[in-house]
Amino acid sequence: MIGGQFIHSIKDLIGESKEKKKVELPKEDEQPHIPTKQEEKKQINTVPKIRDSSPSILNDTVAFDCVLVEGKRDQDIALPHTEMQQQKKAEDLGESLLVRPILNTTQTTISHASQTPSFKSQSQIIDGKALSTKIREQLAKQAEKFEKKNKRKVGLAVVIIGDDPASHVYVKNKIKACEEIGIKSYVVKRDINTTQDQLVEIIQTLNESDEVDGIITQLPLPRHLNEAEILELIDSRKDVDGFHVENAGKLFTGQDSLRPCTPAGIIELIKSTKKRLEGKHAVIIGRSNIVGKPIAMMLLEENCTVTICHSRTKNLARHTKRADILVAAIGKKEFVTGDMIKNGAIVIDVGINRHEGKLHDDVNFEQASKVASHITPVPGGVGPMTITMLMANSIKAASK
Ligand code: NAD
């Protein structure tokens, strides 16, 4: 039961059968509002605690009804476009789901996300936005094929609880990606007072729906909700975030599964450099369940020798200096400096960190780009690939 009524269908969930209440979403290209220190202090008692594993940002809470929201065009994950994102026209990529397009990465002068002055980068930039565009074109063809064959679109349900503004921007970007590719998005919005039982019923309804192939709950959930229980409740065949323990176990044991999106995107980014992965020493900083651990498993699958570093690792630079491939997933602004990087390494920067009202990466880009052979920018690196892999997983889940 939800709000005293039984849920009968996906239409009930998204509110199509009731009067819809318009929810204001952030405008296109808008960044999430980053609260000032004073605002944060004021809100501290009214907001859910941010989870360590989430890139989201906190704000106050507003209650609203459920509504189906549709977007028009995808963009980077809650971050502005860069000039790099306009480069490189897409090419036709063949038929496989997880395509391996090769980009001509370029040596370039860029203006960095943190709005530092332009500088000459010695590294080749791994352009996640351009790679994303190529893969999305291929995914759109697969989505069209699915629709022709099944007389319905691939369906992705996104459940969002509460009013975290960053989460709403992320959801908006996912909806736009769905629309661009031809996936039908079902957005289930509920206010912060939603109970665990109500959320359980939402997930159960989505699990049973024939129109929904993939389900994600936007994290972080409010503190009073049991996130682990909800993630395990999602049917593992519809777990397009790849967080379910069954999918994690399959990844660990080398079986085909729905893989977590950020690590899956990182693998595509590394492969786009055309560098041979086999035998390379990959060092990962971070051991979270959503990035560090799964990317370690995936690089192991690619026959890399893998080292996982974390907050208790002693003499971190000794490890990172030996990395042919360095993945930084720490969540600390410009934590990785140039002197921690081996000459000619591939550097993947996963970090999205806020500092004094701006978004920053985990790697000091200016220093790193003088040492690395290839490097991902923030924005325009890992972020867009994460959403693209979510779309790929949705089509994969629908096609099974
Ligand atoms: P997390 O907080 O769950 O994990 C951070 C990891 O960093 C931990 O395992 C910890 O051991 C390690 N760490 C912390 N301090 C360290 C230190 N001093 N030395 C070595 N290791 C240290 O974070 P997460 O969810 O894995 O995310 C990491 C970053 O990636 C965050 O900035 C997050 O916002 C970002 N992120 C981006 C995307 C994307 O799509 N671009 C997706 C997920 C996460």
pLDDT tens-digit readout, 126-183? 999 999 999 999 999 999 999 999 999 999 999 999 999 989 999 999 999 999 999 9
Return the ligand 1 atom nearest residue 54 CA: 25
Cis? peptide before 379, omega within 30° of 0: yes
Cis? peptide before 48, omega within 30° of 0: no
Q: Whose CA is closest to atom 35 on ligand 1?
A: 351
Strands 374-375 and 305-309: unpaired
Q: Whose CA is closest to atom 6 on ligand 1?
A: 286
Contact 377, 108 (CB under 8 A): no
pLDDT score at 357: 75
pLDDT score at 223: 96
Neighbours of 385 (CB within 10 A): 28
Handedness of CA 5, 9, 13, 14 (dihedral sign): negative
Q: Whose CA is closest to atom 16 on ligand 1?
A: 311
Contact 381, 131 (CB under 8 A): no
* Active centre residues (catalytic): 174, 218, 241
Q: Report the separation in Å between the CA atom of 266 and the middle of ligand 1, taken as the mean of its atom positions.
A: 14
**In 234-348, which residue ranges form alpha helices assigned H by DSSP?**
245-252, 261-271, 292-301, 316-320
Task: Tell me the best of 50, 291, 314 to mutate to test the pocket of ligand 1, counting ligand atoms within 8 Å of each CB and taking the most.
Answer: 291
Which helix or strand (DSSP H or E) is residue 221 part of? none
Q: Whose CA is closest to atom 1 on ligand 1?
A: 53
pLDDT score at 119: 64
Ligand 1 pocket, Cβ-based, cut-off 6 angstroms: 52-53, 55, 77, 262, 285-288, 290-292, 309-311, 313, 316, 329-332, 350-353, 382-383, 386
pLDDT score at 7: 54
Structural domains of the chain, with CATH:
84-135+259-383 (3.40.50.720)
Contact 131, 101 (CB under 8 A): yes
Q: Report the separation in Å between the CA atom of 246 and the middle of ligand 1, taken as the mean of its atom positions.
A: 23
Which helix or strand (DSSP H or E) is residue 227 part of? helix 227-233
Q: Which neighbouring-strand residues pair with 124? A: 107, 374
Return the ligand 1 atom nearest residue 77 CA: 40
pLDDT score at 15: 72
Nearest to 257 by CA among 280, 240, 274: 240
Q: Whose CA is closest to atom 23 on ligand 1?
A: 53
Find the length of the chain. Answer: 400
Q: Report the separation in Å between the CA atom of 237 and the middle of ligand 1, taken as the mean of its atom positions.
A: 27
pLDDT score at 122: 84
Q: Report the separation in Å between the CA atom of 361 and the middle of ligand 1, taken as the mean of its atom positions.
A: 11
Neighbours of 316 (CB within 10 A): 17
Q: Report the separation in Å between the CA atom of 30 and the middle of ligand 1, taken as the mean of its atom positions.
A: 24
Which helix or strand (DSSP H or E) is residue 122 part of? strand 119-125
pLDDT score at 9: 74
Instruction: Quick: pLDDT tens for 270-329.
Output: 999 999 999 999 999 999 999 999 999 999 999 999 999 999 999 999 999 999 999 999
**What gap in Å lies between CA 156 and CA 212, rounded to an integer?**
6
Give Dmax (Cα) for the chain.
Answer: 62
pLDDT tens-place values along the chain, 400 residues long? 444 444 557 777 777 544 444 334 333 333 444 444 454 444 433 333 323 333 322 222 222 222 222 222 223 233 223 323 333 322 222 222 233 333 334 443 334 444 344 666 789 999 999 999 999 999 999 999 999 999 999 999 999 999 999 899 999 999 999 999 999 999 999 999 999 999 999 999 999 999 999 999 999 999 999 999 999 999 999 999 999 999 999 999 999 999 999 999 999 999 999 999 999 999 999 999 999 999 999 999 999 999 999 999 999 999 999 999 999 999 999 999 999 999 999 999 999 987 777 888 999 999 999 999 999 999 999 999 999 999 999 999 999 8
pLDDT score at 61: 21
Return the ligand 1 atom nearest residue 291 CA: 26
